[in-house]
């Protein structure tokens, strides 16, 4: 067990990445930040609409969408991935609705059936293609990505300036677009998430906003895919909003806290992975979860201690 | 040319999962009245309101609001839903909720203006909730929550108000505050259609009553329709055959 | 419960160690698909034997536990638990630095229970909803697991750990110990469900009622969660962490669509699980050691799709078929009604009507009318010769019944329900076909055996229905049979 956790050497873990490997480190941390922030912002609305697990479902079912898109279009590019992801997202939602509405299977089982079947289809396709030698996708990559690859990409050159790895820049654009959409359509997103009845009574097309959110979800997840893989994208959708929710009851503040959480996660996560020599994505998820626990547990302990000291508070402590 | 009635309903039939819930409803609501909708549980009272606003699909018949289909005149209708229809943990303040009532007057992506904020404040003042403007809605009592919803409907500045059981679970002070406000609205020429759950107070509060039990039993001035015979028909279950058939229809393949 | 005995016997068959065949280690060399298929089922190769038996056992116990998940609407809890066990697997490996089934089992179960506890804790102490809590546990525990896994890969012993098989499953990697574990868990599940069937059933259906009976509802809930954790962990190696929840939910959902009884659902669920497991491991072997998990899930999904579409009671195609025959019946009856109206227009002075008259009355083309008449003739209600047609006795009976229902209903709506006369006709069009005998008698009584409908037409009485159409006192005998 001792060999498992390397010694914590401040120099190696915290300082060296920034002094020696700056150009490597900066892109990884930025990618992590952009991915977590974009997923977290979209995730806020998922949680408000109680659709967290639909987010889970779509991030799994994107896999066969990507594979089918690659097979159909026969080349790998961001637009192909996007097409595959959007198709998969809508297919998932359509299948869930179909099963749920056309039979007596309930919504939770329908979600589970839809995404596991699609994911199984994706993995089956992937492994049979791999065994035939026609495609080489690392199975692990699907699950937890390999964010370090972004730092190794040849940089994007524009007007003679070397800006940075294309994936990171793409993710930055995605983040900006998401932030912009949320800012511009803030009140529409708010009222359709809060009170669907009122939205319809006011004449809003709630279906448009619902599918728009699904599309945004598909876009952030497919962008997050190469950095953190399918399953950890789910973490980035859910954990930052939960962190923000513990600290504020005001939606704009929550959105800001989500971005802050993303920054901390990326930074802490990267250093954690350097120290332990583990998957960067996994470390970032651990960091994200750790931040949530840090704001969740201490108030509970304080409450418990207060209750011990003054038993009459037990009545008022019932939420 | 006489102005069109605030609400006109003709032969409205609403079926939920093939089971008829409302049957051939014919109504013309006159302007400037405080009208109550009463009937037993499952009589379709909430369904009527929701069908008027297009929140429930209509099997047959039509609805006209101020002479036009609902969608064209939706900004003239204010809606106060049942309290349990909303997630009270949502991170919005009282002021945010009341401002939502102004969204019908705003275009896509347009922010609420200073005027909207002014109106929202006035509405909160009317329901005596202005001190709570910045509080998150979960931290309110039942009566306070109801008043916030009312303020939101007021902020819509509508001519026709549809309210779904606004008096359920509120304290006596809130109840009398609400009815005072409704009477004030009526005095200003607004039309109010209120689903109500309690018979004795229905007689006291409303000018006219709609008695509903899957189909329209009676509609008219309270004095005229609040008779024991009509009440018997509405609540007495003499329409068991109708509900039996409704069951059979719902069980069809 | 008769179904319990075969289930227990089935489970026992696979748990008792096979002594029949001597263990011979054959090399898996390149061979054709057919050869490999044969080898798979010949039970010669012990690792393949383990794979097959393990897969079948896994199918049974996941199917059983999954049935409870589906009826208690806890499918996503199963998903969260199956992801949450990953760090436990890693820690179990680290305990002895080997793939010791017992250590891994204990580690994984502890992690799973910790996950379930965390979900509850988040629900109780924060404002976050159920879906958020499940998603958090699912993702964060999985993240910890991934970290541990990748850290283990750095260790000298790590690369040969075979832990990567835990992601998507590889039934061929099941050792004898793994199969014994699966067998044990399956037997435990079968025994528990068998013994406490009625308790599990009532707590799944109506926990409040069960509590009022004095049943310790919480204990049954946690015992079920514990069994679930066991089933998940035991199945991990064959199906993989990511897809275990599929093996829990999909066979159970298929069973749910095929039966209305919990007992049969449990049996079917176990059966479907068994078949999917076997088929999946078979496919993966034939395809040269592809991961087993995905193929088991696809097999189960196939079964589910079949149940969804072709299930006799609730299947989509069955329902569509029933709807079609229902509308066909209504069509036939409307045709009969129209014939009745044609004859009535002449006050029943004649027995024959013409197709042309019928087409006119129904405002249809002649072809349309001929087509519908053909359907009515097939049912034996009408005889056609050339352009004229007449009702057979059974046709007359049915036509009278339909018209009677229609007119009684119209009368009811106008009188008792006070619906305006011009609204009433269409309602009646729909309802007359479904009024049962009992309701019609009730209606008649209610309306004081009236003889005329809101439009003034006569309502056929009971006796008229059984008289053949003909000239014998038709016009006079009509409606006079009822007394006021």
Q: What is the pLDDT of residues A6-63, one digit of tens each?
A: 777 787 777 777 877 787 788 889 999 999 999 999 999 999 998 888 888 888 888 8
Domains and CATH numbers, chain C: 4-18+33-313 (1.10.3470.10), 320-477 (1.10.10.10)
Min Cα–Cα distance to chain C from B61, Å: 10
- The answer to whether the CB of A240 falls within 8 A of the CB of A288 is yes
Of B54, B90, B112, the CB nearest to A200: B54
- The answer to whether the CB of A85 falls within 8 A of the CB of A66 is yes
Min Cα–Cα distance to chain B from C401, Å: 17
- CB spacing of A203 vs B111 below 8 angstroms: no
- Position C24 scores a pLDDT of 25
Q: Provide the b/e sequence for B68-83 (b: ≥16 CB within 10 Å).
A: eebeebbebbbbbbbb
pLDDT average, residue stretch B184-194:
92
Q: Which one has a higher pLDDT value, C277 or B58? A: C277
Treating both helix axes as pointing N-terminal to C-terminal, what angle do A280-309 and C101-125 enclose, rounded to 10 degrees? Answer: 60
- Position A67 scores a pLDDT of 85
pLDDT at residue C87 is higher than 90: yes
- Position A298 scores a pLDDT of 92
- CB spacing of B106 vs A187 below 8 angstroms: yes
Among chain C residues, CA nearest to A269: C147
Q: Give chain A positions within 8 Å (CB) of B77.
A: 201
- The answer to whether the CB of A274 falls within 8 A of the CB of A13 is yes
Mean pLDDT of chain C: 79
- Position C11 scores a pLDDT of 42
- Position C162 scores a pLDDT of 65
- CB spacing of B249 vs C322 below 8 angstroms: no
Q: Give chain C positions within 8 Å (CB) of A277.
A: 150-151, 154
Q: How confident is the model at residue C479 (pLDDT cuts 50, 70, 90)?
A: very low
Among chain C residues, CA nearest to B241: C439
- The answer to whether the CB of A63 falls within 8 A of the CB of A119 is yes
Q: How far apart are CA A209 and CA A199, in angstroms?
A: 11
Determine the residue among C85, C90, C135 to mutate to test chain A binding: the one whose Cβ has the most chain A Cβ atoms within 10 Å. C135
Q: How far apart are CA A310 and CA A317, in angstroms?
A: 11
- CB spacing of B24 vs C418 below 8 angstroms: no
* H or E stretch covering B61: strand B60-65
Fold category of B7-250 in CATH:
Rossmann fold (3.40.50)
pLDDT at residue B177 is higher than 60: yes
Q: How far apart are CA C392 and CA B130, in angstroms?
A: 79
Tell me the three state secondary structure of residue C478. Answer: coil
Q: How confident is the model at residue A186 (pLDDT cuts 50, 70, 90)?
A: very high
Tell me which of A131-145, A221-235, C317-331 is least confident. A131-145
- Position B83 scores a pLDDT of 80
- Position B18 scores a pLDDT of 61
Of A50, A116, A277, the CB nearest to C154: A277
For A280-290, the pLDDT digits (tens) are 889 999 999 99
- CB spacing of A195 vs B74 below 8 angstroms: no
Taking Cα atoms as reference points, which of C228, C222, C206 lies closest to residue C62?
Answer: C228
Classify burial at C69, counting beta carbons within 10 Å of its beta carbon; exposed 0-12, middle 13-18, buried 19 or more: buried
Q: Provide the b/e sequence for C187-225 (b: ≥16 CB within 10 Å).
A: bbbbebbbeeeebbbbbbeebeebeeeebebeebbeebb
Q: How far apart are CA C300 and CA C174, in angstroms?
A: 21
Q: Give chain C positions within 8 Å (CB) of A55.
A: 135
* H or E stretch covering C158: none
Q: Give chain B positions within 8 Å (CB) of A200.
A: 53-55
Q: Which one has a higher pLDDT value, A100 or C9? A: A100
Q: Which one has a higher pLDDT value, C378 or B252? A: C378
Of A188, A197, A249, the CB nearest to B136: A249
Q: How far apart are CA B119 and CA B104, in angstroms?
A: 14
Mean pLDDT of chain B: 85
- Position C299 scores a pLDDT of 94
- Position C465 scores a pLDDT of 62
- CB spacing of B85 vs A197 below 8 angstroms: yes
Q: How far apart are CA C465 and CA C468, in angstroms?
A: 8
For B137-156, the pLDDT digits (tens) are 888 888 888 899 999 989 98
Classify burial at A207, counting beta carbons within 10 Å of its beta carbon; exposed 0-12, middle 13-18, buried 19 or more: exposed
Q: Give chain B positions within 8 Å (CB) of C429.
A: none
Min Cα–Cα distance to chain C from B222, Å: 20
For C115-158, the pLDDT digits (tens) are 988 998 998 899 898 889 999 999 999 999 988 988 888 777 66
Min Cα–Cα distance to chain A from C79, Å: 8
Classify burial at C44, counting beta carbons within 10 Å of its beta carbon; exposed 0-12, middle 13-18, buried 19 or more: middle
Q: Which one has a higher pLDDT value, C91 or C361? A: C91
Q: How far apart are CA C258 and CA C300, in angstroms?
A: 14
Chains that touch C (3 or more CB pairs under 8 A): A, B
Partners of B192 in the β-ladder? B34, B161
Of A191, A245, A248, the CB nearest to B100: A191
Q: Give chain C positions within 8 Å (CB) of B217.
A: 418
Q: How confident is the model at residue C160 (pLDDT cuts 50, 70, 90)?
A: low
Q: What percent of chain C has pLDDT over 90?
A: 23
Of A124, A238, A283, the CB nearest to C139: A238
Q: What percent of chain B has pLDDT over 90?
A: 30
- Position C161 scores a pLDDT of 60
Min Cα–Cα distance to chain B from A202, Å: 5
pLDDT at residue C21 is higher than 50: no
Q: Give chain B positions within 8 Å (CB) of A207.
A: none
pLDDT average, residue stretch C421-431:
62
Q: How confident is the model at residue C197 (pLDDT cuts 50, 70, 90)?
A: confident
Dihedral over Cα of C5, C8, C11, C16: its sign: negative
Q: How far apart are CA C256 and CA C96, in angstroms?
A: 42
Q: How far apart are CA C140 and CA B158, in angstroms?
A: 49
pLDDT at residue C468 is higher than 70: no
Tell me the three state secondary structure of residue B168. Answer: coil
For B16-59, the pLDDT digits (tens) are 766 678 878 889 999 999 999 998 877 788 889 988 888 888 87
What phi-psi label fits residue B24: left (phi over 0), alpha (psi between -120 and 50 degrees) or beta?
Answer: left
- Position C478 scores a pLDDT of 37
Q: What are the extents of the domains in chain B?
A: 7-250
- Position C477 scores a pLDDT of 36
Q: Give chain A positions within 8 Å (CB) of B112.
A: 187
Q: How far is CA A34 from the centre of its chain?
A: 10
pLDDT at residue C430 is higher than 70: no
Q: Which one has a higher pLDDT value, C265 or C460? A: C265
Taking Cα atoms as reference points, which of C204, C197, C255, C219 lies closest to residue C60?
Answer: C255
Q: How far apart are CA C96 and CA C100, in angstroms?
A: 7
Chains that touch A (3 or more CB pairs under 8 A): B, C
Q: How confident is the model at residue C480 (pLDDT cuts 50, 70, 90)?
A: very low
CA dihedral C314, C315, C320, C325 (to 10 degrees): -60
What is the reported pTM? 0.80
- Position B250 scores a pLDDT of 63
Q: Give helix then strand counts, H and E, for chain C.
A: 23, 3
- Whether residue A1 lies within 8 A of chain C, CB to CB, comes out as yes
- Position C15 scores a pLDDT of 38
Taking Cα atoms as reference points, which of C164, C186, C176 lies closest to residue C241?
Answer: C164
- Position B237 scores a pLDDT of 61
- CB spacing of A48 vs B90 below 8 angstroms: yes
ipTM: 0.89
pLDDT at residue B13 is higher than 90: no
- Position C472 scores a pLDDT of 35
- The answer to whether the CB of C393 falls within 8 A of the CB of C420 is no
Determine the residue among A7, A64, A107, A109 to mutate to test chain C binding: the one whose Cβ has the most chain C Cβ atoms within 10 Å. A109
What is the end-to-end Cα distance of chain C in Å, rounded? 56
Q: How confident is the model at residue A155 (pLDDT cuts 50, 70, 90)?
A: confident
Among chain B residues, CA nearest to A254: B91
Q: How confident is the model at residue C471 (pLDDT cuts 50, 70, 90)?
A: very low
Of B50, B77, B108, the CB nearest to A188: B108
């Amino acid at each position: 067990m001792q060999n498992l956790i390397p010694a914590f050497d401040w120099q190696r873990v915290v300082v060296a990445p920034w002094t020696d490997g700056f150009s490597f480190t900066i892109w990884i941390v930025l990618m992590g930040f952009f991915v977590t922030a974009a997923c977290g912002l979209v995730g806020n609305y998922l949680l408000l609409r109680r659709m967290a697990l639909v987010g889970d479902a779509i991030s799994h079912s994107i896999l066969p969408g990507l594979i089918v898109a690659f097979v159909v279009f026969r080349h790998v590019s961001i637009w192909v991935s996007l097409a595959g992801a959007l198709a998969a997202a809508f297919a998932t939602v359509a299948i869930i609705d179909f099963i749920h509405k056309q039979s007596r299977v309930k919504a939770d089982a329908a979600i589970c059936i839809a995404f596991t079947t699609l994911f199984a289809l994706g993995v089956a396709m992937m492994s049979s293609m791999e065994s035939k030698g026609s495609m080489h996708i690392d199975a692990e990559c699907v699950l937890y990505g390999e964010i370090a690859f972004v730092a190794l990409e040849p940089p994007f050159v524009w007007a003679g300036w070397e800006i940075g790895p294309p994936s990171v820049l793409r993710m930055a654009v995605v983040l900006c677009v998401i932030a912009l959409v949320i800012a511009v359509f803030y009140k529409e997103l708010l009222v359709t998430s809060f009170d669907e009845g009122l939205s319809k009574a006011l004449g809003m097309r709630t279906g448009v906003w619902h599918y728009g959110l699904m599309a945004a979800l598909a876009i952030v997840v497919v962008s997050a895919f190469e950095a953190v893989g399918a399953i950890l994208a789910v973490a980035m959708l859910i954990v930052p909003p939960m962190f923000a929710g513990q600290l504020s009851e005001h939606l704009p503040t929550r959105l800001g806290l989500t971005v802050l959480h993303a920054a901390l996660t990326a930074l802490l996560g990267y250093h954690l992975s350097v120290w332990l020599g583990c998957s960067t994505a996994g470390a970032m998820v651990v960091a994200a979860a750790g931040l949530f626990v840090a704001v969740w547990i201490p108030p509970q302990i304080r409450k418990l201690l207060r209750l011990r000291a003054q038993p009459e508070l037990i009545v008022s402590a019932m939420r | 040319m006489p102005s069109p009635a605030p609400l006109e309903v003709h032969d409205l039939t609403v079926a939920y999962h093939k089971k008829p819930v409302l049957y051939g409803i014919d109504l013309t609501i006159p302007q400037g009245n405080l009208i109550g909708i009463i009937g037993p549980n499952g009589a379709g009272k909430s369904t009527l309101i929701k069908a008027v606003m297009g929140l429930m699909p209509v099997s047959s018949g039509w609805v006209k609001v101020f002479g036009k289909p609902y969608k064209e005149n939706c900004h003239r209708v204010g809606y106060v839903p049942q309290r349990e229809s909303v997630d009270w943990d949502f991170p919005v303040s009282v002021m945010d909720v009341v401002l939502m009532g102004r969204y019908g007057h705003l275009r896509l992506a347009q922010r609420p203006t200073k005027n909207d904020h002014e109106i929202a404040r006035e509405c909160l003042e009317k329901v005596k909730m202005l001190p709570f403007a910045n509080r998150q809605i979960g931290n309110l009592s039942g009566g306070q929550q109801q008043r916030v919803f009312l303020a939101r409907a007021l902020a819509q500045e509508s001519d026709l108000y549809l309210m779904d059981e606004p008096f359920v679970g509120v304290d006596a002070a809130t109840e009398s505050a609400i009815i005072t406000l409704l009477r004030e609205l009526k005095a200003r020429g607004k039309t109010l259609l209120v689903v109500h759950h309690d018979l004795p107070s229905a007689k006291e509060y409303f000018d006219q009553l709609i008695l509903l039990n899957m189909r329209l039993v009676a509609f008219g001035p309270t004095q005229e329709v609040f008779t024991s015979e009509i009440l018997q028909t509405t609540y007495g279950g003499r329409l068991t055959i109708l509900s039996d058939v409704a069951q059979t229809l719902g069980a069809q393949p | 419960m008769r179904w319990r005995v075969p289930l227990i016997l089935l489970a026992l068959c696979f748990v008792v160690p096979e002594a029949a065949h001597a263990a011979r280690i054959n090399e898996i060399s390149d061979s054709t698909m057919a050869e490999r298929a044969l080898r798979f089922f010949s039970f010669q190769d012990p690792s393949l034997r383990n794979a097959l038996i393990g897969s079948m056992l896994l199918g049974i116990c996941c199917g059983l536990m999954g049935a409870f998940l589906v009826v208690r609407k806890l499918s996503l809890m199963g998903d969260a638990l199956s992801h949450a066990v990953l760090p436990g697997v890693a820690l179990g490996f680290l305990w002895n630095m080997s793939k010791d089934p017992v250590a891994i089992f204990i580690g994984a179960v502890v992690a799973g229970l910790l996950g379930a506890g965390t979900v509850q804790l988040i629900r109780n102490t924060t404002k976050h909803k159920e879906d958020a809590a499940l998603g958090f546990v699912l993702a964060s525990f999985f993240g910890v697991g991934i970290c541990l896994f990748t850290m283990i890969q750095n260790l000298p012993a790590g690369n040969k750990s075979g832990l990567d098989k835990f992601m998507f499953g590889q039934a061929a990697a099941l050792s004898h110990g793994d199969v014994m574990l699966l067998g044990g868990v399956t037997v435990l599940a079968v025994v528990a469900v068998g013994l406490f069937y009625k308790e599990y059933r009532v707590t799944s259906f109506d926990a409040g009622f069960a509590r009022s009976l004095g049943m310790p509802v919480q204990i049954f809930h946690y015992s079920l969660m514990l069994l679930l954790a066991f089933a998940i962990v035991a199945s991990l190696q064959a199906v993989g962490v990511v897809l275990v929840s599929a093996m829990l939910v999909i066979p159970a959902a298929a069973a749910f669509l095929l039966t209305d009884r919990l007992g049969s659902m449990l049996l079917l669920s176990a059966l479907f699980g068994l078949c999917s497991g076997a088929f999946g491991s078979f496919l993966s072997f034939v395809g040269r050691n592809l991961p087993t998990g995905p193929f088991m899930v696809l097999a189960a999904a196939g079964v589910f799709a079949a149940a969804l579409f072709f299930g006799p009671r609730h299947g989509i195609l069955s329902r569509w078929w029933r709807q079609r025959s229902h509308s066909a019946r209504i069509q036939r009856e409307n045709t009969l009604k129209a014939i009745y109206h044609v004859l009535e227009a002449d006050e029943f002075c004649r027995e024959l009507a013409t197709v042309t008259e019928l087409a006119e009355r129904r405002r249809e083309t002649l072809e349309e009318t001929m087509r519908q008449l053909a359907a009515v003739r097939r049912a034996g209600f009408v005889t056609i010769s050339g352009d004229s047609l007449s009702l057979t006795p059974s046709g007359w009976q049915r036509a009278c019944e339909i018209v009677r229902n229609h007119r009684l209903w119209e009368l009811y709506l106008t009188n008792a329900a006070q619906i305006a006369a011009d609204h009433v006709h269409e309602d009646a069009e729909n309802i007359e076909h479904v009024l049962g005998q009992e309701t019609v008698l009730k209606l008649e009584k209610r309306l004081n055996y009236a003889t005329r409908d809101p439009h003034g037409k006569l309502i056929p009485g009971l006796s008229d229905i059984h008289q053949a159409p003909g000239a014998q006192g038709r016009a006079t005998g009509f409606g006079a049979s009822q007394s006021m």
